[in-house]
């Protein structure tokens, strides 16, 4: 057997806790796998930003990209290694750049998902140089903002069509509030989207490859408390539909790593925000749910590196459009879409790979998340975000939340 090394690159921004945990667990696993006729080991490295020759050959088999699509040099390097060198990248860099929230709403409406009623509004303000002014004067039509509000219905949300992180989002309950919010919206194109009325549950489905974790979510809480620790909050059929919705969206847009927000009203899950291809990944936000994310990222990147998974550079939406049947129930339709996603993510092979090669991952991760090394990583992240007088208190808090996860995992394993 030939000895080979698969290299995983982490392309990072301000991240601290998840890459450090990812690296530590991979190091502890010390994998040496018989893949075909080879023995395969794995190395992980943080990607640096520097000049590059477009013709050079990268050393990575997989690159896990987190937020660096916001930085042009990193974004263009990632596009180069995907299109020229077949490096598998999480996520498809062209899809992240091109498919904003507006496209995601329109596409999922075509697939029959229950997206709240949404209108697009031209920006309130415009540039004045170049052809802007003459184009606006010649083609922009006066419109009644009040009539748009009546058509969408109140309450509603005015928000940038391509925004993220709740920036620029305003909850409006009448014409006057809509007018004030629109007047302050500046030069960004806006959506006005109807609020889901009488909802009783807010969830976030976090997807990594074919894996989905569904978390009860409270956006009104401080960031460190939005992801709730809750069990049995969804019946099995709704849990299944939520997971299928997340995988459908991720497959459709070529996103291996994305999260989908849904509101439940009258037993129907309404996707409201799902172009989040750089979801929360910090222990200071995910706390109890943080170990699941790190393990899911490890499983998927190791699988992609070991099998030399090829990137899908061009999105193929036609199979989803062909699978659309307006006479089906939403659950039946999601089952069809999920079958496409199942194939796209090579889910059966992924499950077999995990069962064959990564049987120790759960135990190794469980041990690591109880160590002083992990507590130190947690403290580093807390120190980067919290005022000095709160560092020890919140380090203890987040570390304790992960210890609670370790306890529930131990109890769950004992029952099996």
**What would the pLDDT profile of 172-214 be if each residue is shown by its tens digit?**
999 999 999 999 999 999 999 999 999 999 999 999 999 999 9
The closest of 311, 301, 310, 312 to 353, measured between CA atoms, is 301
CA within 13 Å, CB half, 226: 15
Distances, alpha carbon 65 to alpha carbons 77, 137, 276, 310, 380, in Å: 11, 42, 13, 16, 21
Cβ-Cβ contacts under 8 Å for 111 (sequence gap 6 or more): 248, 252, 320, 321, 324, 333, 337
**Residue 349: is its pLDDT beyond 80?**
yes
Q: Cβ atoms within 10 A of the Cβ of 390, count?
A: 13
Across the range 145-164, mean pLDDT stands at: 93
Nearest to 243 by CA among 213, 202, 203, 266: 213
Rounded Cα–Cα distance for residues 300 and 309 (Å): 10
CB atoms within 10 A of CB 268: 14
Instruction: Quote the pLDDT of residue 248.
Output: 98
Q: Residue 17 corresponds to which tokens in the numbers above? A: 């806790």
**The dihedral formed by the CA atoms of 107, 110, 113 and 117, expressed in degrees to the nearest 10:** 90
Residue 177 has, within 13 A of its CA and on its CB side, a CA count of 14
* pLDDT confidence bin for 166, thresholds 50/70/90: low
- Give the model confidence (pLDDT) of 12-25 as tens digits: 988 999 999 999 99
- Name, in order, each residue with C-beta under 8 angstroms of 271's C-beta and a sequence gap of 6 or more: 108, 113, 114, 115, 245, 249, 260, 261, 262
At residue 337, the pLDDT reads 98
Q: What is the predicted pLDDT for the residue at 223?
A: 87
Residue 415 pLDDT exceeds 90 = no
Q: Taking residues 314-334, what's their average pLDDT?
A: 97
| Secondary structure, 3-state, 103-130 | HHHHHHHHCCCCCCCEEEECCCCCCCCC
| Closest CA relative to residue 96, chosen from 59, 62, 67 | 67
Mean pLDDT on 161-166 = 74
Interval 336-345 mean pLDDT: 98
Is 206 within 8 Å of 243 (Cβ atoms)? no
Q: pLDDT-derived band of residue 164, with 50, 70 and 90 as boundaries?
A: low
Do the Cβ atoms of 209 and 345 come closer than 8 Å?
yes
- 62 and 248 Cβ atoms separated by less than 8 Å: no
Which of the residue ranges 30-44, 55-69, 185-199 would you say has the lowest mean pLDDT?
55-69
96 confidence band (pLDDT: 50, 70, 90):
confident
Q: How do residues 273-291 score in pLDDT, each as one tens digit?
A: 988 888 899 999 999 999 9
Q: b/e per residue, 319-343, with b = 16+ CB within 10 A? A: ebeebeeeeeeeeebbebbbebbbe
Q: Percentage of the chain with pLDDT > 90?
A: 83
Mean pLDDT of 119-143: 88
Tokens of 171: 């909850």
Which segment of 62-71, 310-319, 373-382 scores lowest on mean pLDDT?
62-71
pLDDT band at 165 (very low <50, low <70, confident <90, very high): low
- pLDDT of the residue at 1: 67
Phi then psi dihedrals of residue 67, to 5 deg: 75, -10
Residue ranges and CATH numbers for the domains of the chain are 2-97 (3.40.50), 117-194 (3.30.1490.20)
Q: What share of the chain is helix, strand, coil (3-state, %, to 5)?
A: 50, 20, 35
Task: Report the percentage of the chain scoring pLDDT > 70.
Answer: 99
């Amino acid at each position: 057997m030939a000895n080979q090394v698969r290299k995983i690159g982490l392309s990072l921004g301000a991240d601290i806790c998840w890459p450090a945990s990812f690296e530590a667990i991979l190091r502890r696993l010390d994998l040496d796998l018989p893949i075909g006729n080879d023995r395969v080991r794995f190395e992980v490295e943080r990607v640096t930003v520097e000049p590059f020759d477009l013709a050079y050959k990268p050393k990575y088999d997989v690159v896990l990209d987190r937020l660096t699509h916001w930085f042009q040099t990193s974004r263009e390097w990632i596009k180069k290694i995907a299109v020229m060198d077949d490096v598998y990248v999480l996520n498809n860099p062209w899809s992240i750049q091109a498919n904003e929230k507006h496209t995601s709403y329109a596409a999922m409406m075509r697939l029959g998902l229950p997206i709240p009623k949404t209108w697009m509004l031209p920006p309130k303000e415009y540039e004045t140089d170049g052809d802007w002014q003459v184009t606006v004067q010649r083609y922009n039509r006066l419109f009644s903002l009040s009539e748009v509000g009546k058509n969408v219905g109140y309450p509603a949300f005015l928000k940038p069509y391509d925004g993220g992180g709740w920036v620029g989002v305003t909850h409006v309950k009448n014409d006057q509030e809509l007018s004030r919010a629109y007047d302050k919206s500046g030069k960004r194109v806006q959506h006005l989207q109807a609020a889901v009325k009488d909802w009783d549950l807010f969830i976030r489905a976090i997807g990594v490859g074919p894996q989905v974790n569904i978390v009860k979510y409270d956006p009104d809480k401080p960031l460190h408390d939005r992801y709730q620790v809750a069990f049995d909050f969804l019946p099995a059929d709704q849990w299944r539909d939520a997971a299928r919705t997340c995988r459908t969206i991720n497959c459709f847009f070529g996103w291996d790593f994305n999260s989908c927000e849904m509101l439940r009203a009258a037993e129907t899950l309404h996707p409201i925000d799902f172009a989040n291809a750089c979801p929360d990944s910090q222990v200071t936000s995910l706390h109890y749910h943080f170990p699941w994310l790190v393990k899911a990222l490890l499983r998927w990147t190791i699988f992609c590196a070991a099998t030399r998974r090829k990137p899908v550079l061009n999105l193929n939406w036609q199979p989803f459009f062909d699978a659309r049947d307006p006479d089906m129930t939403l659950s039946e339709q999601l089952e069809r879409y999920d079958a496409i996603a199942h194939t796209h993510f090579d889910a059966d092979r992924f499950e077999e790979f995990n069962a064959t090669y990564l049987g120790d991952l759960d135990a190794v991760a469980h041990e690591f998340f109880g160590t002083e090394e992990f507590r130190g990583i947690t403290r580093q992240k807390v120190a980067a975000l919290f005022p000095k007088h709160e560092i020890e208190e919140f380090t203890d808090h987040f570390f304790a939340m992960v210890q609670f996860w370790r306890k529930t995992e131990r109890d769950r394993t004992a029952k099996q």
